[in-house]
Amino acid sequence: MSYLGRAIRTFAPAIVVTISAVALSAPAQAGQIGAVKDGWLVAKVHSEMIDEDVLAGSNIDVDVSHGVVTLQGTVPSEAARSRAVAVAKANDGVKSVVDQLRIAPGKPGVAAKTEAAAEKAADKTASAANKTGRAVDDGWIKSKIYAQYLAEWNTVLNDSDIDVDVKDNMVTLNGTVKSAEAKNKAVATAKSTDGVKSVRDNLRVSAD
């Protein structure tokens, strides 16, 4: 047998094993990345809204399915609506944004404040530092909790699917997490957020 023939016989099993391993692992990794991405985007979009003065008085729900973001809830002005959509669109991984926001009157003084902030918000750059002027209301609390979840995404809260609902400063957590540790972390984070009065834990631990 030639040297080439012996070399092929020697290395062929290793090649087959390597190809098989890649074929088995690739679908699982692709599925995991897809599942993580939507949940990560929900938290990411919310985190970008915290420091937006023009969104003061807003209460926005962010839903993501396969990279398509749907915005629901209320904003106090057309300027706030436009800014919320722009913030969502600017995030990496967002394919499109469905705007289902409603304009609802805010608390006294909020509308004037948001309109005054609109021009400033339009000129913001990604590197500009902005200190939030938003009040600690239900909408701010929701976004703040998601922002804190985002900070834990690469550790205990990885691949979580958590829905945060806030009404009168009382938080309800629904959805799934991967472990009891993640469940405890999600609840503790919500409880420690400024303005939160109570937390109802409806989270389920799922190994799927």
Residue 46 domain-assigned? Answer: yes
Instruction: Record the tokens describing residue 4, joined without a space.
Output: 């080439």
Identify whether residues 205 and 156 lie together within a single domain: yes
Same domain, 153 and 177: yes
pLDDT digits (tens, 9 = 90+) for 41-85: 999 999 999 999 999 999 999 999 999 999 999 999 999 999 999
Q: Looking at the 3D structure of the chain, how many domains does it have?
A: 2
- The larger pLDDT score, comparing residue 161 to residue 4, is at 161
The verdict on 100 and 58 lying in the same domain is yes
With cut-offs at 50, 70 and 90, classify the pLDDT of residue 8. Answer: very low
Among 124, 145, 177, identify where a domain stops: 124
- What mean pLDDT is reported for the chain? 78
- Cα separation, 104 vs 111, in Å, equals 10
pLDDT tens sequence across 121-152:
444 433 333 345 678 999 999 999 999 999 99
Whether residue 26 is contained in a domain is answered as: no
Is 22 within the bounds of a domain?
no
Parent domain of 69: 37-124
- Of 69, 65, 71, nearest to 84 by C-alpha is 71
Sheet holding 59-65, edge to edge: 59-65, 68-75, 96-103
Percentages of the chain per state (helix, strand, coil), in multiples of 5: 50, 20, 30
CATH number of the domain where residue 84 is located: 3.30.1340.30
Domain assignment present for 169: yes
Find where tokens 């799922």 sit: 206
Question: 171 and 198 share a domain?
Answer: yes
Please, what is the Cα angle at 95 between 144 and 125, to 5 degrees? 55
**Residue 25 CA: distances (Å) to CA of 14, 16, 18, 22, 160:** 17, 14, 11, 5, 21
Query: Do the beta carbons of residue 97 and residue 69 sit within 8 Å?
Result: yes
197 domain residue, yes or no: yes
Higher model confidence: residue 106 or residue 59?
A: 59
DSSP 3-state of 178 = coil
